[in-house]
Amino acid sequence: MLTFDRGTGAFDQFVIEETTFDAQAEGGYEAIFCQGNGYLGQRAALEERYAGQTRNLFVTGTFDRFHESEVTELPNLPDLTNLRLSVNGMPFSMEQGDLVSCTRRLNLKTGELTRYVQWKPPQGKPLTLCFRRFVSMAREHLLGFQVEITCAGEDCAITVESGIDGTVTNSGTQHLYEREKRLFGGRILFMEEETVQSGIRCNLYAAHSYQVDGHETATRRLPVMRRRYLGETVSMTVRKGQTLRIEKLCCVTTSRDLLTLDGEAALREAIGMGYEGLLCESAAAWAALWAAQDIRIDAQNGYDQVAIRFALYHLNIMVKKDDDRVGIGAKGLSGEGYKGHSFWDTEIFLLPYYTFTQPDTAHTLLRYRYRILEGARRKARDHGYRGAMYPWESAWIDDGEVTPLLGGADIVTGESTPILTGHIEQHITADIAYAVWQYAQATGDSAFMENHGWEMLMETARFWASRATWDERRQAYVICDVIGPDEYKEHVDNNAYTNYMAEFNMRLALKRLDDQDIRHVAEGLWLPVPDENGIIPQFDGYMALQAIDLTRYKQAESVGDIFKDYNLSQINHLQVCKQSDTVLLLLLLEDRFSPEVKRRNYEFYEARTLHDSSLSKATHCVLAQDLGLDDIAYDYFHAACAVDLPIGTPKSPEGIHSAAMGGIWQCVVYGFGNVRLTGGKLRIAPRLPKGWHRLSFRIIWQGQPLAVDADEKGVRVTNLGREAVGVRVYEQETIIPGGQEYAGSGMA
């Protein structure tokens, strides 16, 4: 059971704590306690072994394809977290002996993960063990681990075995072959492996030190070398009352790194600084991030404050901010799920955060989409279209479409379900165009538009113009046979989301160049309109589908429960949505729909939506807030946070949901902060949930950092930059000069 808010002083409401231990539930904790810096992602598998652990270490961009039957993915690199202790011959395991207490804390402020254990071996007196680890935010190749064992009750014979373990796989798939393993100077363990297809060399270095009560021990290290493993073992007697401290410092480099680093030299330098020195340096880098980005929520429920910081923490470790050769994986670097691939959620759920708080990172991410434009052109050609058709799933810049072809079991036929998203879930192309435009408007970065943005808008618009077909009966262009964001509906025609976004995409291109083909299709495209009840049909024929009682599935503990009763082709005929689809459209193109249409559609679709996608809840939160459904919005905020940070046990061992982290930010800043970019202008009109006394955050608008400080009565917007910017605060258009603030009231 997770608890929050146990930090004190400087760490107040920066700490996530877990005080129980259940090996079966560990997967979820491994994911949410993940550490990283955008280059490295280190899952929080415990040092000692338990059944069901997943030890994951990823380096961004190191994609490899095991076999032509599989798609490329981020390989799981050799594990560095392993460290096995035995006390008087008994292996340390929290499942053996008497576990008096176990407290794990992730300190979001410093990035350090600690575990404090009081343990009594089956035969023997109690010990305390303190495990600490971090991934450096200051040196992206570096990881540090420390263990302190205090023998409180008796002398103990302690044996330690620790090393670099290359037996790990991606759920059984092995991407690496061994090149070399050896010791340097009897001290530095070194392993070099290489990916089998992409030929990326991965070098791992680890060095250990052993101190008793602060004094380096003279204990003999014995190397342990076997297949795919290199480690060392030491044995010593620790006297009653003494503390043994083990430090394990590690360095990882690959041949795909942006800059070449001598890993051995880097590790030697790190050894000189020691765990504490390196941690301080990393915490200082984190402090700078928090200074620029922290969101303060003064609320009755302390969870809210921790939850937004939890999201910010992950938003800062999932992306390598300066590397435009890779996107953000759907699980960040926290697990094997989705293989490290990037989807549309980067643009729709994550880009708003980066665009408004780290425009340089947003720039990097959009340049990545520019760099894969050639692959998008190739995909369009392969499908018989013009322009650029973005891959549904993307990996390395020249990989092209990497969506797998087969999914889980069809309960009716017994066969694997084909995955069609790579072929017909096409809205991503418009989503990327949408993000380009949003970035350009928020930043005013005309150089980006000149060098990359307009080309992307034109090429994507050309795709849509060639994609639409003329419908004689309707006397309109139609887009048939797609999947919308709601993936429970395949092969649909005129998905409202897709058509509206495609039209938006084409109209963006027309701002630059009056291309007749594009104009023709843009003006003639069929845009589903509200019916007599004000409902926009999600796609042609949706209203005629069978409605069923979803109560049971909505209440289910796990997502996808409906597949226990129906297969996908059956669900295709039911009024059941995996996630917001039309509702998302109402939010993205908010100016185009009246409040009444929004309300009716929100209510209609909400009743039919299972929220089986982690993306759905934040969208519903923001729209509910827009519609004045404040309590519902607050509930959806908690539901969005609970995707990865539940009050209870985390349920996603395959990794955190990157986009859901962006969704949490959107709930707070777009929803309660009511920050929105409409008609090229910035609107700030906070309305806080009940129980929130204050909300402070920063955004960057036209290059100027704005501090937004809202309470129950209104908002104060301070322009921390030098240039004046125009802002609408509540209903008031205003210009705030650099260094000035503006106060507005939200009272009616």
Place of tokens 């004689």: 472
Exposed e or buried b per residue across 353-368, where buried means at least 16 C-beta atoms within 10 angstroms of its C-beta: bbbbbbbebbbbbbbb
* Tokens linked to 516: 């007749």
Chain center to CA of 555 = 25
Q: Are 103 and 19 in contact (CB under 8 A)?
A: yes
Q: Which residues bind its own copies (CB under 8 A)?
A: 24, 49-53, 66-67, 69-70, 91, 93, 95-96, 166-169, 171-174, 177-186, 196, 222-230, 408-409, 411, 414-416, 564
For its own copies, the closer CB: 11 or 50? 50
By DSSP bridging, strand 57-59 and strand 83-87 are unpaired
Q: Is 476 exposed, middle or buried (0-12, 13-18, 19+ CB in 10 A)?
A: middle
Q: What is the rounded distance in angstroms from the CA atom of residue 467 to the CA atom of residue 176?
A: 41
Task: Report the chain's C-alpha Rg in angstroms.
Answer: 27
In contact, 28 and 361? CB cutoff 8 Å: no
Structure tokens at 687: 């309305």
Reference 744, options 718, 724, 720, 714; nearest CA is 714
d(CA 256, CA 258) in angstroms, rounded, equals: 6
CB 216 within 8 A of CB 274: no
Element (H, E) at 35: strand 35-36
Q: Give the number of C-alpha atoms closer than 13 A to the C-alpha of residue 547, restricted to the C-beta side.
A: 9
Buried b or exposed e, range 603-612, using 16+ CB within 10 angstroms:
ebbbebbbbb
Rounded distance between C-alpha atoms, residue 687 and residue 95, angstroms: 48
Strand order of the β-sheet with 40-42 is 35-36, 40-42, 57-59
Strand, coil or helix: 212: strand
**Catalytic residue check, 161:** no
Return d(Cα 78, Cα 170) in angstroms, integer: 11
Closest distance to its own copies from the beta carbon of 410 (Å): 8
Apex CA 584: angle with CA 599 and CA 502, to 5°? 120
Asked whether 145 and 210 are in contact (CB, 8 A), the reply is no
The residue from 26, 487, 490, 654 that is catalytic is: 487
The SS3 assignment for 690 reads: coil
Residue 630 to residues 65, 634, 663, 689: CA-CA distances in angstroms? Answer: 47, 6, 17, 7
HSE value, Cβ hemisphere, 13 Å, CA-based, for 50: 20
Calpha distance 359→641 (Å, rounded)? 24
**How many residues comprise the chain?**
748
DSSP string across 702-715: TTEEEEEEEESSEE
> Which two three-digit tokens encode residue 14?
């920066």
Q: How far is the CB of 158 from its own copies (least distance, A)?
A: 16
Q: Compute the C-alpha angle 643/646/651, nearest 5°.
A: 65
Q: How far apart are CA 565 and CA 567, in angstroms?
A: 7
CA gap 204, 636 in Å, rounded? 43
Q: How far is CA 96 from CA 22, 30, 82, 120, in A?
A: 12, 21, 18, 9
Catalytic residue ranges: 487
